[in-house]
Every structure is written in structure tokens, then in C-alpha cells.
Structure 1
Amino acid sequence: MCLIALAYHPDAPYWLHLVANRDEFHDRPSAPLGDWPDAPQIVGGRDLRAGGSWLALHHRGRLATVTNVRDPALVVPQRAPSRGELVHQALTCDDPQAWLEQLAAGEAWRYAGFNLLVAEGRRLWHLHRSRHALTLRRVTPGLHGLSNADLDTPWPKLLATRRGLAESLDTGAWPDDALAAMATPREYDDARLPDTGVGRELERRLSAAFIRGETYGTRATTWLRWHRDGGMEIAERRFGPGGRAEGESHRDLRLAT
């Protein structure tokens, strides 16, 4: 994923609402939201090149999603594992907190920069690996956003999509307002852009919540709502070059509580 907005309220009937965009090269082969043939207890999209995922869940009642950290100066270790594999490991490890603590103790330095969100039992963790930082925290209740920096770094598109999610919940129009914010192709003025080291032109292009491009752009929008009794509604819209709609999937699941 490259942009995530979430509402985390562990004591509410629907304790997690999440909406996210995946930006990727259009020629990278991917499988849509669905059961994994080699791991039928896992549901999610699948990167068919490296085998991992950008967002997936396990029927035991666990969710994981990952974003990249955008920093050209970050030195990627040789033979670094795919960051999408972190999602698979998060879903299949015996104890997610112990596994995350192991990563935070140094194991995560083997990977290129990333943010990893893991949810289980109405607990939510965030692990951040950047050039200078490796931090693990329990996410506090409330509204949050995550893109290609740290949690809640106030990039314009993050603020706009987080606001769209809030409006969606306040008006009872879930997920319509949240999806409208995620589908916005607006690029922001240079004065509002971060400087991640990729140059002004690319920075401007990547500032849009929804990126339309012939070779690289938003490939999928995923949204979900998780009830405390284990019920989850999850859906995915897929897009091709130029933002062309390529299909939609919906699942109603019963997960462990």
C-alpha cells in the first residue's frame, strides 16, 4: 500500500475502518482479493512476482498491511527480502507481538524501508523502518493516516483522505465519502509538498491520492470494516493504466475474535 486512512476505536462495535490505495507498476503481475490457493486461511491480494501481499488477513482474526518508505538515500541491503513477505509472516507467526518485537530489535534492518500495520484481538501495532529509525508502537485509538513516511506524517493527501474517512463515519455514508477521497487525482502545490529526495516533478505527481499513469499508478483501492464479533466486510476495486476500472470484489467474512 502507499496510502492508508484508518479509524481505530477498539471499544466500538465496528472497531476498525480502513481504506487504502496500492500504487505500483502496471506490469507487475498481481492476483486480486481472494483466497490464497496455497494458504486458504489467508484472504487478500497477492504479488505474483515475490509472493507476498500489500494487505491480507487470516481467518484466525489477524490483519496486516505494508507501505514502502520513500527515501532514495536509504541504502537497501543486498538480497533484501520482499517487504510484501512481511504481511505473510505477520499472518502466520505464532505470536505477532513477539515477532514484531524481534523485528524491532534489529531484524527489520534487513529490509528496505517500510511501515507495517498488524491488527489482532482489537490490538493494533505499527512498525516503522526508515533510514535512521526502527520503532514499534501500539497505535492509539482515533483517526490515523499512513503513507510513505511515518504514521500521521501530515502530507496533504494523507490529511485529505483521513478527513474523507472521518466524514464518511460522521455522516453514516461509509464507505462512499472515504472512497471519494481515495479516488481524488488532485496534485498539490509545490509549497505543500514534502521533500523526499525524488525531485519536484515526481513529488508533485506522487502527491495525488489516486495516481493515473500509463506505466505506474494506483492499482487497487481496498476498504474494510471489522466488527468486534468477528464479522468483516472487505472489498477491492482494481485499476489499469490511466486509472481504467478493471473489476471489483466484495467478501463478507467471519473471523476469530
Structure 2
Amino acid sequence: MCIAYLALGHPQWPVRVAANRDEYHARPSAVAGPWPGHPRVIAGRDLSAGGTWLGGAQGGRFALLTNYREPGVPAPAHAPSRGVLVRDYLLGTASAQAYCLGIGQDAQAWAGFNLIVGDRAGVWILSNRDPAGVVRRLAPGRYVLSNHLLDTPWPKSRRLRAALDALPASDWVRHPQRVFDALRDTTQAAVDQLPDTGLDVAREQLFSSPFIVDTQYGTRCSTLLSIRADGRLWLSEQSYDPAGRAVGRHGGCLPGHRP
């Protein structure tokens, strides 16, 4: 997952997420849907390490994760896959707050990550690269998370936020194509606007658009997740091939019918 927009606090749809997952095209993944053996969880699956990047569970639980971009910084020895942070929350029963606090006690065991988890009691964020080093609750509002700290004003983050701020909450369910179109923004930033994350300029510019097209590494899917005030959850995922062409849409609703 490389960029996610969150809108929290709408009276009818208190949680809305629109996100792009960027990954190597060769890394095996399963498309979003109810998990085998765990029908109360709906998400895509990383078939390489067994985790996931974004998903929901019955009762209004959801989680998402982005990696923290820090080229040249080695992962801790024997670091587990960061995708298990999302997987374990979705499969578990701990509250969002308790889960984040528990992970926070050993957060440096993982490579750099940003983790957001939510339930009907609230939405919480933990980053093991946040200098403050604290778990905090997100207030109602709109946020963008990419591969740095929450609301870091990278050009791609500003572009996506402006596009999605302009859409009504109902579009996530009634007109999802409008949201998918906003996520499919391939506009790259000018060189003088690029962040300096340690990549060479060509790679920095390639990764500066909300939607990345590249034969080796790019946007594999876009995902919309909405949670209604009564806890019912809707998830839709649009998959893409290495040329950036839409190749299928998947997902579903929990607890089993369209909200």
C-alpha cells in the first residue's frame, strides 16, 4: 500500500478509505474477497508472506498499512512481514486501541511502517518512525497517508486529497467509479517539487504520482472501503496489470448483503 485517503466522522458513513497498493508485479497476491476459513474478513492477500495491506472485518473493524520509505536502511534481523500487522488485527478480537498499544511495545521489531486500525469505538494510528513514538486516536476529519508520516504534504498526497475532498461521501458506494478515477491519477510532480527520500531523481519522479505505471513495480490495485454507522462494511477492489489497465473488480459486503 503506498497511498491512502481516510475520511472519518460522516454521520452516515463514519469511515471511508480510498487507497492504492503499489507493489512488484511479480509478487503473488489474491484478489479481495472473503478469506477462506474466515468469512467474516474481507481483504486481498499477499500470497508470499501471508499478510495483507488493507481490509475489513464484520462489526465495523478495518485496518490498513503503508511501508515507510527509507532506502538503504536495513530491516531488523528476522523482521516479520509488515502485512501480518493488518492480518492479525482483522482475525483477532482486540479493540483497535488495545491492538495498537500492544504492537507499540515492540514496534521496532519491524521495518518502517504506518498502521491504522479502527473499530466502532475509534480509529488509531501507530508509526514506528514517528519521533513522538506514541499511539494516537484520529479525530474526525480527512487524512492522507503515503510512505512517510500521516499528512506529509508530498505532491501525490496533495493531489489525491484535493480530488477526493471534492467528492460526496455517497460516491464511495453509489458511484465508486468516480473514486477509482480519482485514484488513477498518473500525474508526476515536477523535479523541483519532489521529496528527498533517498531515491535517485528518476525513481523519485516515477513514484510521485498517486497511480504508478511501470513494468516492474507499480499500482497493482485500488481499494474503496466504507463502513456505515451501523457497522456494515463494503469493500471494492479494482485490479490493474503492469500497463495500468483495469483487469477486474472484486470485493463484497459484510455481514453479507449490500449496505
TM-score (norm 1): 0.92
Percent of paired sites with the same residue: 38
**Change beyond 3 A, Cα 1:132–1:74:** farther
Q: CA deviation at 1:236?
A: 0.5
Aligned residues: 253
Q: What does residue 252 of structure 2 align with?
A: 251
Q: What does residue 167 of structure 1 align with?
A: 166
Q: What does residue 22 of structure 1 align with?
A: 21
Q: CA deviation at 1:36?
A: 1.2
Q: Residues 1-40 of structure 1: matches in 2 within 5 Å?
A: 1-9=1-9, 12-40=11-39
Letter of the aligned partner of 2:36 in structure 1?
Answer: P
Please give the alpha-carbon distance, in whole angstroms, between the structure 2 residues aligned to 1:29 and 1:214: 15
Gaps of at least 5 residues in structure 2 are none
Q: CA deviation at 1:129?
A: 1.4
Please give the alpha-carbon distance, in whole angstroms, between the structure 2 residues aligned to 1:22 and 1:184: 13
Q: Deviations for 1:93-142, whole angstroms, at most 9, x for unmatched residues?
A: 3323222112223x110000011110101511111112856331101111
Question: Which range moved further: 191-200 or 244-253?
Answer: 244-253
**8 Å Cα contact 2:25/2:218 also seen in 1:** yes
SS at match of 2:165: helix
Q: Residues 22-101 of structure 1: matches in 2 within 5 Å?
A: 22-96=21-95, 97-101=97-101
TM-score (norm 2): 0.91
Letter of the aligned partner of 1:4 in structure 2?
Answer: A
**8 Å Cα contact 2:59/2:231 also seen in 1:** no
**Change beyond 3 A, Cα 1:249–1:126:** same
Question: Which range moved further: 54-63 or 79-88?
Answer: 54-63
**Change beyond 3 A, Cα 1:133–1:41:** same
**Change beyond 3 A, Cα 1:238–1:136:** same
Q: CA deviation at 1:253?
A: 2.3
Letter of the aligned partner of 1:6 in structure 2?
Answer: L
CA RMSD of aligned residues (A): 1.9
Gaps of at least 5 residues in structure 1 are none
Q: Deviations for 1:190-218, whole angstroms, at most 9, x for unmatched residues?
A: 12111111121111000011111111110
Please give the alpha-carbon distance, in whole angstroms, between the structure 1 residues aligned to 2:238 and 2:39: 21
Please give the alpha-carbon distance, in whole angstroms, between the structure 2 residues aligned to 1:156 and 1:176: 23
Q: What does residue 110 of structure 1 align with?
A: 109
Q: CA deviation at 1:6?
A: 1.3
**8 Å Cα contact 2:57/2:254 also seen in 1:** no
Letter of the aligned partner of 1:43 in structure 2?
Answer: I
Letter of the aligned partner of 1:100 in structure 2?
Answer: C
Please give the alpha-carbon distance, in whole angstroms, between the structure 1 residues aligned to 2:252 and 2:162: 26
SS at match of 1:95: coil
**8 Å Cα contact 2:5/2:142 also seen in 1:** yes
Question: Which range moved further: 59-68 or 46-55?
Answer: 59-68
**Change beyond 3 A, Cα 1:170–1:29:** closer
**Change beyond 3 A, Cα 1:170–1:66:** closer
**8 Å Cα contact 2:130/2:149 also seen in 1:** no
Please give the alpha-carbon distance, in whole angstroms, between the structure 2 residues aligned to 1:178 and 1:25: 24
Please give the alpha-carbon distance, in whole angstroms, between the structure 1 residues aligned to 2:93 and 2:196: 39
Letter of the aligned partner of 1:53 in structure 2?
Answer: T
